[in-house]
Structures are given as C-alpha cells and as structure tokens.
C-alpha cells in the first residue's frame, strides 16, 4: 500500500510511536486506521468492514457503539467530571462500583482498590504483597512466582511478572526476586511419554521445587491467569489449578488471580475463579469491566490482605500509593453501566450458549493440513499453525493474519497462533461468519504457500 502524503497514515507514522509494533516496518507499511464501530464490527478509514473477533484487546464485551455507555459517561461528565479518592475523599461512582464488585466477587473479598490498567493493577498487587509482609514482620517474604508465557502487563514490576521474552529483552528485566515456573501447555512442555495427569503433577512439583529452592519463608505470592491469554490462549489441563493451589496453601503463599481477560464472563462464568474453583486472595480485573470504553482496573483483596495493610497504613500514617485518575468517576460510571448491561442481557449466558458451537468449529480446524492445535474455552480460543520448512517460528502467524484481515476478519497473531476473543454480544450466525472467514483465509493461505 502506498501512503499518500498528509493522509492519516502518513501523519501517524510521522508523529506516533506504537505499542507492540516494529517501528521500522510501520515507517514502511503504515498502520490500519480504524474509524468507527458498531456491534461486533469495526470499519477502517476507507469504509472497509471487519468482524472484530478480538473484541479490541480481549475487552469490548458489549460490542462497539453501545449508546448506554456513551450516555452514562456524558451524565457523569456533566455532574462531576473528575474527583479523586486520595486523603479520605470519595465520590458516588467509585463507592457504587466498589460495592458492586465486592458483592459480585466469586470468593469472599473485603475491599476494592482502583487503578487504570491491568499493568497498574498487577504492579499494585505486588506492592500490596510486599507491604503486607512488612506489616506482618516478615520482611524476607517478598519473592513472587509467575509462569513462563504468563502475561501480566508492561510496567517494570508487571513486565517482570510477565513470562514472555519480548517484554524482558533489552528492558533489563525481570527484576530480581521474580521467578517463572512451568507453563501448563501440555503439548509444548510435556516430556517424552508423559500423560496429561503426570504433566499436571510435574507442574505442581516444579512449583514446589522452586519454593523449596528459594526458601518458603521468602516466597510471598504466586500470580496466574486462570486461562493464559496473550501467551497464546492456554487452557490448563484438568486438575492443574487444584494441584497448584495445594502447594500455595502448604507454604502460606498468597494467590493472585489475574482475571484481566477472563473477568466478567469470558469463560462462561462471571469470573474464571468460579470456572476453575480458585481461591485467590487478590483478584485483578480490567478490560471487560468497562468494555474498555474507559480505562479502569481494580484489585479485589480479601481480609488476609486488607487487615495487615490497614495496620501498616496506621503505623506509617498513610497507605502511600495511588494514581491521580484511579477510580475516575466517569470510568466508574461507565463500568457500572457496562456491568449492568452484561447482567441484564445475560451476556455470560450467551457465552455459555455459544461456547459449544465456537469451540467445536475451532476444534474442527485442527484437522486442517496447516494446523497443529486448537485451544480454548468459553468464547476465547486460538488455532496454532504447524511449523513449516523455510519459515522461522512466529513467521507464519502474521502472514495468515494478513490474509484474514484482507477477508475482513480481525484476529491476533501470537507467534504462530491466531487468537479469537469476540465481543460477548456475538450471535450464533456471527460465530459462523467468524469461522467461515477463518477457514476461507486458511485455505487461501494454503494456496498461497503452495504457489
Ligand atoms: N493481565 C492480563 C491477563 C492481560 O491480558 C493484560 C493485557 N493484555 C494485562 C494484565 C495488562 O493490562 P494493560 O494492558 O491494561 O496494562
């Protein structure tokens, strides 16, 4: 594509540095400019229509162009466009949202704490864990365990928790004191002849070995996504979470469930904590809390976390943490309306109703000559491509993605896996349309490869 002078694409490459983008490739090829959205569809600046089968970044649960969220934002903007929650100040939307989240929480939680992004929520979780250990007189209990291929964000602490090379390489990360244990992706990480249940046992043993090697008295917390998202949509094998939680309990290690993708219905329950019978001490949420119409995230913390933290704040005189826009009244008002829509329209029920079709059509693609594995649960999934002679690992995914885009389907290439995570308002015929386009793209790509 040639980039016209003074076009939005030309101005974009002239002035804007993009996240998760090869900056030199963007200088050459430009960007795809999305102009508007409606339901599960978005339109680019040339009027081309796409099915947004990634819901933006796994996040637009109620779809694009939801007027109720526009109105909720406008109402709050007119009444009180900004206030904060520092120094014992508060405002209605933050109180209402905190109350709603604590009432909805899948396990007993004590308090909600607001931040603006998933990264900040996980960063804050780590700081709370450290603060708590100091409050309990255990200053040595600070180490945090995460997993290879886990994704928890990009700030210095949360990028350290993330277990992906691109988030560490050239950033001098991870920080010391953060460790990554085995990824529960059976096909990739199993040993020769290892059954799935033996693999699960080994995942738990690897965690226990790491804890013992480091010293249990030094390990404060474990963080994990119930289903790994940005690491490639990895659904852990049966029994995995039970085995992991046993180790955490044995050594008095806090459990942080990162529900930034799973939260608010993605796996067919409001929280994946229910789907996988988890007992987290901290839950972090973002994305679908507001369908990303406004930036907002939250931590839900239980009494085990809150009580020592409250004591320490009293000792010191303040809980010395917080960002200016946290619990923003407009973002909180939008989140409340978004959650109301999810409940009123039973979008979680819609996920459960459509999941069998979504997953069976995805699974059917596993037998395509180009594919090696289909993975997923609820309305999230990925198809991984087979390694192929003449192509480096991670080279095929973006090439197929380009074919999909050409056909009007937005997915995301995670190496050679193509992810799907459509808005939760999607209909049955739209699920079929997603997979029809996906299959067409795969067949076209196969022709292209053999030409
Ligand atoms: N945790 C998970 C599980 C995520 O998927 C993401 C974002 N993809 C984050 C944390 C970080 O969220 P943010 O991009 O809002 O910082």
ipTM of the assembly? 0.99
Query: What local confidence, expressed as pLDDT, does residue 431 receive?
Result: 98
Cα separation of 310 and 219, whole Å?
22
Query: What local confidence, expressed as pLDDT, does residue 1 receive?
Result: 64
The answer to whether the CB of 286 is under 6 A from ligand 1 is yes
- Specify the ligand 1 atom closest to the Cα of 150: 3
The alpha-carbon radius of gyration of the chain (Å, integer) is 22
Cβ burial, residue 111 (10 Å; 0-12/13-18/19+): middle
The answer to whether the CB of 421 is under 6 A from ligand 1 is no
**What is the number of other CB atoms lying within 10 angstroms of the CB of residue 330?**
23
Q: Is the pTM of this model over 0.95?
A: yes
- Specify the ligand 1 atom closest to the Cα of 229: 5
150-186: pLDDT as tens digits: 999 999 999 999 999 999 999 999 999 999 999 999 9
The side-by-side arrangement of strands in the sheet containing 34-38 is 34-38, 41-44, 49-52, 409-410
Given a cut of 50, the residues of the chain with pLDDT beneath it are none
Report the length, in residues, of the chain.
451
Choose the CATH number for 69-344 among 3.30.300.30, 3.40.50.300, 2.60.40.1120, 3.40.640.10: 3.40.640.10
List the domain boundaries for the chain: 32-62+346-450, 69-344
Kindly give the distance from the C-alpha atom of residue 249 to the centroid of ligand 1, in angstroms, as a whole number.
26
Query: What local confidence, expressed as pLDDT, does residue 60 receive?
Result: 98
The answer to whether the CB of 159 is under 6 A from ligand 1 is no
Query: What local confidence, expressed as pLDDT, does residue 322 receive?
Result: 98
Q: Which residue's alpha carbon is at the smallest distance from atom 1 of ligand 1?
A: 152
**To test ligand 1's pocket by mutation, which of 19, 151, 226 has the most ligand atoms within 8 angstroms of CB?**
151
Cα separation of 435 and 151, whole Å?
26
Query: What local confidence, expressed as pLDDT, does residue 2 receive?
Result: 83
The half-sphere exposure of 311 on its side-chain side, counting CA atoms within 13 A, is 12
Query: What local confidence, expressed as pLDDT, does residue 230 receive?
Result: 98
What angle is formed at CA 8 by the lines to CA 7 and CA 10, rounded to 5 degrees? 65
CA 66 to chain centre: 22
CATH 3.30.1490.20 fits domain 32-62+346-450: no
**What is the number of other CB atoms lying within 10 angstroms of the CB of residue 102?**
15
**To test ligand 1's pocket by mutation, which of 115, 119, 289 has the most ligand atoms within 8 angstroms of CB?**
119
Query: What local confidence, expressed as pLDDT, does residue 416 receive?
Result: 98
The answer to whether the CB of 233 is under 6 A from ligand 1 is no
CA 283 to chain centre: 12
CA 415 to chain centre: 17
Locate 402 and state its tokens: 């380009």
**To test ligand 1's pocket by mutation, which of 59, 118, 272, 331 has the most ligand atoms within 8 angstroms of CB?**
118
């Amino acid at each position: 594509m040639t980039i016209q002078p003074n076009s939005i694409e030309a101005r974009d490459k002239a002035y804007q540095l993009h996240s998760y983008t090869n900056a030199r490739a963007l200088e050459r090829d430009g960007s795809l400019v999305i102009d508007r959205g409606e339901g599960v569809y978005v339109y680019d600046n040339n009027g081309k229509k796409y099915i947004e089968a990634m819901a933006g970044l796994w996040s637009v649960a109620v779809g694009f162009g939801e007027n109720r969220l526009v109105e909720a934002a406008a109402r709050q903007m007119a009444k009180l466009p900004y206030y904060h929650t520092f120094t014992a100040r508060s405002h209605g939307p933050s109180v209402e949202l905190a109350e709603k989240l604590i009432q909805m929480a899948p396990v007993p939680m004590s308090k909600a704490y607001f931040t603006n992004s998933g990264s900040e929520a996980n960063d804050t979780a780590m700081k709370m864990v450290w603060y708590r250990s100091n409050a309990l007189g255990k200053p040595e209990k600070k180490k945090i365990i995460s997993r290879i291929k886990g994704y928890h964000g990009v700030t210095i602490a949360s990028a350290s928790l993330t277990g992906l090379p691109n988030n560490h390489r050239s950033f001098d990360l991870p920080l010391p004191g953060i460790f990554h244990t085995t990824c529960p992706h059976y096909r990739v990480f199993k040993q020769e002849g290892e059954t799935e249940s033996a693999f699960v046992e080994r995942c738990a043993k690897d965690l226990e070995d790491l804890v013992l090697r480091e010293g249990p008295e030094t390990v404060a917390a474990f963080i994990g996504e119930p289903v790994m998202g940005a690491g490639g949509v990895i659904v852990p094998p049966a029994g995995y979470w039970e085995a992991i939680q046993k180790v955490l309990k044995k050594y008095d290690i806090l459990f942080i469930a990162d529900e930034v993708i799973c939260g608010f219905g993605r796996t067919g329950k409001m929280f994946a904590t229910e789907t996988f019978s988890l007992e987290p001490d901290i839950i972090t949420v973002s994305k679908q809390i507001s369908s990303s119409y406004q930036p907002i995230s939250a931590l839900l913390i239980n009494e085990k976390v809150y009580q020592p933290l409250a004591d320490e704040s009293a000792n010191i005189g303040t809980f010395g943490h917080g960002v200016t826009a946290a619990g923003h009244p407009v973002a909180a008002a939008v989140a409340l309306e978004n959650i109301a829509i999810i409940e009123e329209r039973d979008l979680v029920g819609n996920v459960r109703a459509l999941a069998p079709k979504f997953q069976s059509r995805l699974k059917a693609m596993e037998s395509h000559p180009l594919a090696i594995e289909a993975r997923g649960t609820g309305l999230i999934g990925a198809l991984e491509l087979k390694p192929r002679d003449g192509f480096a690992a991670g080279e095929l995914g973006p090439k197929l993605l380009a074919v999909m885009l050409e056909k009007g389907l937005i997915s995301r290439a995670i190496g050679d896996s193509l992810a799907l995570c459509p808005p939760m308002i999607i209909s049955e015929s739209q699920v079929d349309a997603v997979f029809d386009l996906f299959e067409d793209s795969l067949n076209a790509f196969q022709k292209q490869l053999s030409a």
